[in-house]
Amino acid sequence: MTSPMKHHLLAALFFISLSPLHAVDATATKNIASPLFQEQMFSLLPVAPDFPKTDFAVSTTTDFVPSKGPWSTTCSEESVFLRSFHTVDLEGKPIDLRVGKGGHLYSIQSAIGELVPPQWRHANHKTVSPWNDEVWQAVAVTSDPNKVFVHQSGCYVKPEEPPFYAPCLAQSWSQEDKTFTMLSWGIVPQVTSTLVSEVLYYTRYRFVAPGVVEVTSGLFDFGKRNYLWLNTPWGGVRQTALGELWIADKSERGTAKWLNPMPRFGAAHDGALDSAGNTGGWMAFAEEGQDPNRYAMGLTFGRDDFPTAGMNPALLPRDKTLIRFGQAGGKETRNYIVAVVIPRLGVISGHGVWWRYYMAFGAFDALKKQCPDWADKTSGGEMVVPSISPETRNFEKCIESGVIPREATLASDLSRSHVFSPWPKPEDVPVFAFQLKKDSTWVVTTDPSKYAALGEKDIKGQDLYSVAMSFSEIRLLGFTSISSNPSQ
């Protein structure tokens, strides 16, 4: 390791069930350990850049009211909803953004209507994907030993099954900083799979200027596998709303090339793949037409010049940041233009990384002038564990504070003397509390796979697991070492 410090993401002591969530701001959440614990937990993302203060309004609510859509899915939107934000775009026009339970951005209601794809699925398809795939989210991919995706959002489900989303474990809103941060446990997008997720997603949305949202996406790998292919973000827009795709020109700041005809997503030979260093560091989706002030959305990915000195080389598995883009399906079906950023970064066991990018909304001409500046600020790096002593708690304190019920039992991998920290030290593992669906009992463990096991095997003889089928509530108590009893 180049740096002497281990770099990780976080542990949390907020506890949210998998039932529909209508949580209040973190400062009023029932299961907060203390304001200090909260501060330490969220400090594991890098300090946000210091920008001049801009006078514009942002309001937020956890009260659910259906969005205008329209959506193609018949699933209840309330099942995905976590929180909505109301602010203005570059021209001061209203815009509403909605965040799902996993921390993914599932709705953007702009001056020209909804920008997120309608969630269309062919009637003959065996599964549906309501606000799970065609949203703005992070995705981690492992090939160790089999290729498995871990969504920030949720699962594909059968038409008769209820939606299932990655559980929200912590959330906090700062009105002063116009910043929302949250923690979620990523989910393998198949309800039944050969792997239980080993990825925690930490997301910060900061409203930095009218029409501009800064997104910092953190990923922490607490398992035994490496996730060396990250999509941060995976996203896209409705082609009927924003039907033009533009890629920033490297040679002249503030200019972009119109991709006409638009390539098909996934077809590298069709021009649907490039490296960030070949571009001006951003792309834009715009309304079709000639009006310079037509509505547009910008996404930055930088020019691959973020600092990497001192980083663990294993967290830089490729020498280029890649971008993928193109249309998927027609306007009458999926209605989807895809945009994916694959940073040079990857995560390995016991480490975390972060990636910061910007989304801008408003008139195309204004957006082209601003996006180069936001592209300059796009960056990434390792998660850094603070050097201060963390606030801690143990099993008994969790019971005394009502975090877990008194009848909760400790699994054999833990003792009552184990201490839970808000962030992982080297070799630490997360401590989960699960309410089991089979009998409603509670168990505290560091081994999610043991309790998510279905006792079945796939056609290759591999064990099958299901978080959705096994747990009715999921809580993250912190991190601890199980290599030895810390009290001895």
**pLDDT tens string 203-225:** 999 999 999 999 999 999 999 99
Q: Check whether 461 has a pLDDT greater than 90.
A: yes
Say if residue 246's pLDDT is above 90: yes
- The sign one gets for the Cα dihedral 40, 229, 319, 136 is negative
Residue 340 reports pLDDT greater than 70: yes
Over range 144-156, report the average pLDDT: 92
Considering only CA atoms, which of 206, 224, 228, 225 is closest in space to residue 215?
Answer: 206
Sequence-ordered list of residues with C-beta below 8 angstroms from that of 423, at least 6 positions apart, any chain: 8, 9, 10, 11, 40, 41, 44, 385, 386, 390, 479
Token pair 């300090």 in the structure block, residue: 47
- Extract the runs of DSSP E, i.e. beta strands, from 222-342: 229-237, 244-248, 256-258, 273-275, 282-286, 295-300, 322-328, 336-342
Share of the chain above pLDDT 70, in %: 90
Query: Would you state the structure tokens that stand for residue 280, as one six-digit string?
Result: 């001006």
Is 3 a residue whose pLDDT tops 60? no
Mean pLDDT of 215-239: 96
Mean pLDDT across 297-309: 96
Q: Is-contact 44 8, C-beta < 8 A?
A: yes
Cβ-based burial of 172 (10 A; exposed 0-12, middle 13-18, buried ≥19):
buried
Q: Which of 480, 469, 462, 438 is nearest to 187 (CA)?
A: 469
The pTM of this model reads 0.91
The answer to whether the CB of 301 falls within 8 A of the CB of 321 is yes
Mean pLDDT of 432-461: 96
More confident position, 197 or 272: 197
Question: Given pLDDT bands bounded at 50, 70 and 90, which one contains residue 329?
Answer: confident
- CA gap 259, 62 in Å, rounded: 39
| Phi (first) and psi of residue 270, to 5 degrees | -95, 10
Confidence at residue 8, expressed as pLDDT on a 0 to 100 scale: 38
Q: Determine the Cα–Cα distance for residues 484 and 488; give it in Å rounded to an integer.
A: 8
**pLDDT at residue 353 tops 90:** yes
Residue 10: pLDDT over 50: no
Task: Look at residue 11 and tell me whether its pLDDT is greater than 50.
Answer: no
- Give the confidence band of 21 by pLDDT, cuts at 50, 70, 90: very low
Tokens 């975390």, residue? 352
Which residue intervals of 10-110 are DSSP H helices? 35-42
- Supply 417's token pair: 């003397």
Coil vs helix vs strand at 235: strand
CA distance 187 to 123: 25
**Residue 338: pLDDT over 80:** yes
Evaluate whether 465 touches 196 at the Cβ level (below 8 Å): yes
d(CA 15, CA 31): 6
Which pair of tokens denotes residue 411? 């699994």
Going by pLDDT thresholds of 50, 70 and 90, the confidence category of residue 268 is low
Lowest-pLDDT range of 22-36, 129-143, 420-434? 22-36
